[in-house]
Chain A
């Protein structure tokens, strides 16, 4: 339980910096618990909400949010979010976990190669 709080804290720092802390939180929880992939992803989604609210307030005060693109990305993002979530909750947990790992590799490579 203490480790869960520590892992939450470390991932919170990354989330606060604007990148999905779930890319760290979910694999960490895979190692620490025996929950299925959907439960871990569900934890991450809920966990992100209070963290993001606090981070967002800080960022808005600092004037870091580019407001012009927020609304259209959210609008079309809703379509994607419903589709992605429905597919995920209906999928075999082990398969979802492997796909998640592949997704992480691509995301990691694209980050490292950036200037």
Chain B
């Protein structure tokens, strides 16, 4: 954190872009904010991943409220997926401290590319 004003300008931009992507895609805020914090704010990989959750949580709540009022969200499916997600989230947070930063990037990158290809098919 050498140059504070530079960091704060970067922080503003990171905030706006992260919020926008997370709102537009209903996801992916973490995908944007994690590399930004690592590259531009000098925060290491493990801390970036944890900090991303603290940032994306309130932004997702806000976006969810907007989606709730403007589109049809199927509640039963949401509840079933969420129940699985709670269990998985606990496992994921435990795993984070056991896997190296390099492996996290490779695993996530490969998964995202595979997912993108499937969505075009």
A interface, CB within 8 angstroms of B: 1, 4-31, 33, 35-36, 38-56, 58-60, 62, 64-66, 68-70, 72-90, 97-105, 107-115
Interfacial chain B residues near A56, Cβ < 8 Å: 50, 53-54, 57
Of B27, B32, B73, most A-chain CB atoms within 10 Å: B27
Could you tell me the distance between the alpha carbons of A35 and B84 in the complex, rounded to whole angstroms? Answer: 19
In addition to A24-B115, A64-B97, A98-B120, 14 A-B residue pairs with Cβ atoms within 8 Å of each other are A15-B53, A26-B27, A45-B26, A48-B60, A48-B85, A49-B82, A50-B82, A54-B89, A54-B93, A59-B96, A81-B22, A81-B62, A82-B62, A114-B35
Interfacial chain A residues near B57, Cβ < 8 Å: 48-49, 52-53, 56
CB-CB under 8 A for A16 and B93, given A1-B80, A53-B57, A80-B17: yes
- Report, nearest first, the 9 A-B pairs whose CB atoms are least far apart: A12-B88, A16-B92, A22-B27, A41-B26, A18-B49, A8-B84, A84-B23, A80-B19, A76-B15
